[in-house]
Amino acid sequence: MEPLYGPIRDYAWGSRSAIALLQGRPVPSEGPEAELWLGAHPGAPASVDRAGLRVSLCDLVRDEPGQWLGQRVSERFGSRLPFLLKVLAADAPLSLQAHPDAEQARAGYAAEAGRPEGRRNYSDPHHKPELLVALTPFEALCGFRAPAESAEAFAAFGVPELAPVVAALHAGPEGLRTAMRTLLGWPVAERDELLGSVLAASAGGPDAQLVRRLATAYPGDPGALVALLLHHVRLVPGEAIWMPAGNLHAYLSGCGVEIMAASDNVLRGGLTPKRVDVDELLRVLRFEVLDDPVRAAQPVGPGVDWWPVPVDDFALHRVRVGAAVLSVTLPLPGPRVVLCSSGSITVDDGAGALTLASGQAAIGDAAGEPLRISGAGEAYVATSGLH
């Protein structure tokens, strides 16, 4: 194993404490720190040391896929690391968004060939399913809730302009699309008045508090009302949310470990100053009720658990070692990225042992022996899902 150095993205919604505390740096940080990227995505690749220089993992994987990926992963995904591991830290709400499936991504990327970057929805031909595991209490909007619940929430405001939305939701799941299009298509000149009426009519309650919070962060944005179509979830550390293709979601606050297919395709519908394409978002969304977006960890052995997902791009395991479990051995093939999330651990893949403190990461090539982790701490291990 060898050290892996990940860049930190400074998006405006990022925290000035969470990633710094994870890495043992002074708080507050100089600016917002939103995401720590630990992968080979060309947008912000991690790096390793080579003769005293930092070399991009993206370049190494491209030039030496047999060493870094192994034959099976290379045959399935080509000369690219199929997953991206992140630490995400949100102090403000992120955009209301969804991701395309593989077929939609390929078609969308091809259809936009030649467009300027600022007018593109698709930056690559890959899908982007995601799993986020909370490191701290984490708050998110994730997946459509029962339309009847949303209808009740909208009706409670007593705002006549929302009557068409309430009527659409009473039609059941098939009315979700109509409700979404109505809210996101609201005339720009009337949005402030609509939100003002909603906020003036609201006496309290969770739904009203959520709308007020989002409307304050993004004035005049109808995404503040779209939020009422979704589950409002609060995760405790160790709980996760799974976001497959077509699942509408938005992170609101907290710090978590996120793993995803290595793509940057995001279709946004609101709560953002970035590009919004309502028509394309509605085209990729799955207008289905998500019964329960929260996933609990499943134990797979002493000190080891995971959150199974139905894709082969990635898998994520959590390892806890200490007095009760001195060490664990993970027979996980292919590329492996390890992040220490607390304490101090030692990782050994047979090619060399490496000690990691909280916030540090490591990577080993695909030919390594089963991964042995010891010490006193917690780690997240990202691999492909080809087991």
Q: Active-site residue among 80, 145, 191, 268? A: 268
> Any idea what the Cα angle at residue 40 is, between residues 277 and 253, rounded to 5°?
55
Task: For 21, list phi and psi in degrees, rounded to 5.
Answer: -65, -40
| CB atoms inside a 10 Å sphere around CB 223 | 24
Task: For 217, list phi and psi in degrees, rounded to 5.
Answer: -70, -35
| CB atoms inside a 10 Å sphere around CB 333 | 16
Helix, coil or strand: residue 366: coil
The token pair that represents 169 in the structure block:
């939701």
Contact present, 256 and 135 (Cβ < 8 Å): yes
Active-site residue flag, 54: no
Instruction: State how far the Cα of 151 lies from the Cα of 378, in Å rounded to an integer.
Output: 43
Sign of CA dihedral 35, 38, 42, 47: positive
Instruction: State how far the Cα of 273 lies from the Cα of 96, in Å rounded to an integer.
Output: 11
Instruction: State how far the Cα of 319 lies from the Cα of 113, in Å rounded to an integer.
Output: 43
Instruction: State how far the Cα of 138 lies from the Cα of 252, in Å rounded to an integer.
Output: 8
Instruction: State how far the Cα of 269 lies from the Cα of 369, in Å rounded to an integer.
Output: 45
Catalytic residues: 268
